[in-house]
Structure 1
C-alpha cells in the first residue's frame, strides 16, 4: 500500500543533514525504508538529529560524511549501503550556491564560483550515480535516482548565474543518464522553487528572509512559500513504485512560479 511503499528499501540521501534532505530521509523512513544512509559534509550534529528522526520512524540510519565533489568520498558514501546489497533509491540532494542575486552584476561571480558550484551540483551528482550504479542495478525493481535540480535551472533566475547554470546542467544530465542507464535504473529530477529552509541563513538576516518568504508566496499562483516537507513528497514519489514507468522526467514543484507573473527577488 502507498503508506508503506518503501518497505525494506535501502535509501541514500546526499546533503541529508538539514532542509530538503532531512525531509526526504524522514519521509522514506515513514514509508517503510529499512536503511537510510544520511550523507553530510560538515554538520555532524544536524546529521545526527536527522538520524534520530529517521530511527523514530522505524528505519536504521547510517551517517556517511563526505563531500560529493570528491569521487573517493562518493564511493565511500555509496559503500555505506554495501551490507544491504542494494540501493533502491539515491537522492542526489547535496548542493551549494554563491549568493549573487543581481544577475546583471557580472563582477559578483568569477570562474572559481562556477567551478565550485559545478563540482558539487553537477559533478557530485554524476559521481554518486557512478559510485552507486552496481547497487542500484541490484535492486529488485529498477533503482531510482532523484536529482534535486531547481526552477532556477529552468527559467534562469535564483541566487546567482552559476547556480542557475549548474541546475540547468543537472537537468540535462538527468536526461542523459535516464537514457544511458535504462532499463535497470530510472533517473528523474525535481525542480523546487523557494523552499523555506536554513539555506538562506548563510547569506541573509531574519528581516530579509521574512521579506523573501512573503515575496515567494506573493509570486506563486498558489500563494505559498513551500517548506521542505512540501517538496519531499514529490521527490519521494519519483523514487516510489508509483512512478515505476517514469524516467527522464523533470518535475517542477514551485507553487506555479514558472507560470510567470511577479518575479521572486532575493534582494
Structure 2
C-alpha cells in the first residue's frame, strides 16, 4: 500500500495484530482511529508509535464492540474526516478450553464470544456504512471492510468450540454483507492460522504458548510461524487499490497448515 491520506478504523488495535495493522497503515500516512476495550496504556503507546511512523492523524477511543452504542462512539471519532476508506474488524476474544471440553464453556461464554467476534463486526459495519460510502464517492473506488477471522472458523481447530463457531459465523456473514454493500463497499475476511503474538501466552501461559509455536514450526509445510506483521500485510493488501476487484472472499494465511489437517 503506497497511498497517503487513507482514513481507517482498526478495532482492537491496542496491541498484537491490531497494533501491527495500525502501524503499517501509519507508514502510509493514514488517518487512524485506534480502539481499545481495556488497556488505555497500550492503546496510547500504539498511537504514539503510529504518529512517529508517519500517521497523519491518530485518535484513541475506548469501546467494546459488543455494545452498539460503543460502536457508534468509535465511529463518531472519525466523523470530522467526513469519510472512511477502511474498517478493520480486528477485535476478538476467546476462552481457551483444553481438548474442546464441553463442560468448559457456559452459555455466558458463548454469548460473550459471539457478541465480540460476530455481532461486533456487524455492528461496526452498520455504524460505518455512511462514512464508507462517502469515502467511495470521494475516491472514486469502493471503500473496504476487512474482517479478521481465523482458520478455526474453517477447520474447527481453535481454542474452543465457541471461538471456532463464532469465526465460522463471521466467515459466513462475509458473503451477504459483500452483496448488500456493493458496489460502494468491499467486504473481505482474512483467516490466519497461528500468529506469534501474546494471545497464546495470555491463554495458555509461557510454556503452553511455546509448545504451540514449536508444533506449528514442525508441522507447517512452509516451516514458519506467522508474525502479526505477516498478517497485517495481507490486511493492507485487501484495503488497497491492488485488491479493488475482490469482495466476498475469505483468505487463508497459515503457512500451509490447512494442507495437512
TM-score band (shorter)?
Answer: over 0.9
Structure 1 range deviating more: 156-165 or 206-215: 206-215
In the alignment, structure 1 segments of 5+ residues that lack a partner are 262-267
Q: Which structure 2 residues correspond to residues 217-256 of structure 1 after superposition, within 5 A?
A: 217-256=217-256
Secondary structure of the residue aligned to 1:138 is helix
2:96–2:204 Cα contact (<8 Å) kept: no
**Matched residue, 2:108:** 112
**Matched residue, 2:155:** 155
Distance in 2, Cα, partners of 1:23 & 1:185: 23
Structure 1 range deviating more: 68-77 or 212-221: 212-221
**Matched residue, 2:80:** 83
User: Offset at 1:188?
Assistant: 0.2
TM-score (norm 2): 0.96
Distance in 1, Cα, partners of 2:124 & 2:67: 10
Structure 1 range deviating more: 200-209 or 149-158: 200-209
TM-score (norm 1): 0.94
Question: Are 1:25 and 2:22 an aligned pair?
Answer: yes
**Matched residue, 1:197:** 197
Residue 122 of structure 1, aligned match among 102, 105, 118: 118
User: Offset at 1:67?
Assistant: 0.2
Secondary structure of the residue aligned to 1:77 is helix
Higher helix share: 2
Distance in 2, Cα, partners of 1:106 & 1:205: 22
Secondary structure of the residue aligned to 2:204 is coil
What is the count of residue pairs matched by the alignment?
256
The C-alpha deviation readout for 1:99-158, integer Å capped at 9, x for no partner, is 01312x211112111111000000000000000000000012211000000000010111
Question: Are 1:93 and 2:84 an aligned pair?
Answer: no
Q: Which structure 2 residues correspond to residues 41-56 of structure 1 after superposition, within 5 A?
A: 41-56=37-52
The C-alpha deviation readout for 1:188-238, integer Å capped at 9, x for no partner, is 000000111111222222122111111111121111111100111001111
Distance in 1, Cα, partners of 2:246 & 2:205: 40
